[in-house]
Amino acid sequence: MKTSQIEPFFAVLKAANPQPASELEYSNVFELLAAVLLSAQATDAGVNKATRHLFAVANTPARMHALGVEAITQYIKSIGLYRNKARNLHETSRILVEQHDGAVPRTREALEALPGVGRKTANVVLNVAFGEPTMAVDTHVFRVSNRTGLAPGETPLEVELKLLERVPTAYLPDAHHWLILHGRYVCLARRPLCEECAVAHFCDSRPLFIGKPPRQREALADA
């Protein structure tokens, strides 16, 4: 994607969805942190189904820690890797209570020191909760960035750094939401919906996919 195409690319995405938001359900910063921690290798819908019941009884670090690992496990057992996530959430809650007065820290260093919280999760919290212009690179953002040519890279970190460099400042606060949603509903991994894509004319891969039948498009996507 040419540099001159990046601003109009995001302008189109913004026009279609002026105020994009996470599809995870939460009502405070701790719930956001917990939901993102639980979302690794799980769908947002699956996480929301579990956290509706979990957050009803434990929506603060103190309450989550008091709930205990086994009880947390029972609430989230429908989510992948639930045992490890339950331990991480319980320990993270303890650290928040003991080291941060029950508040979610506002620095990357402190967030990434929490069990189960990696760079992507920290970026989501910093961006969504605290308004920092960070770029959380999940599988959708990674795919869209590479496929469109917006920010090609071999690793999530490489893609993240290129996005921070290439995305216009005005679009940075919401950019990762637009890219996630575009990857989730339009630029699909197996069968990208190029004919329905409002930004297809900016995409480096458009000549490969546009007009191809589903099976052929799927083979190209997997190549």
Q: pLDDT (tens digit, 9 = 90+) per residue, 78-100?
A: 998 999 999 999 999 999 999 99
Which residues lie below 8 Å from residue 125, measured CB to CB, with a gap of 6+?
A: 29, 32, 33, 36, 104, 111
Q: Which helix (H) or strand (E) covers residue 37, if one does?
A: helix 29-38
For the domain 3-19+135-222, what is the CATH code? 1.10.1670.10
Domains 3-19+135-222 and 29-128 share a fold: no
3-state secondary structure of 24: coil
Is the model's pTM score more than 0.75?
A: yes
Radius of gyration of the chain (CA): 19
Average pLDDT, the chain: 93
Structure tokens at 44: 């947002």
Parse the chain into domains and list their residue ranges: 3-19+135-222, 29-128
Interval 9-30: pLDDT, tens: 999 999 999 999 999 999 999 9
Residue labelled with tokens 């770029």: 135
- Report the catalytic residues: 120, 138
CA distance 98 to 57: 20
Query: Is the model's pLDDT at 218 over the cut of 60?
Result: no
- The 3-class secondary structure across 64-121, one letter per residue, is HHHHCHHHHHHHHCCCCCHHHHHHHHHHHHHHHHHHHCCCCCCCHHHHHCCCCCCHHH
In this structure, what DSSP letter does residue 139 have? H
Interval 152-170: pLDDT, tens: 999 999 999 999 999 999 9
Per cent of the chain over pLDDT 90 is: 87
Superfamily of domain 29-128: Hypothetical protein; domain 2 (1.10.340.30)
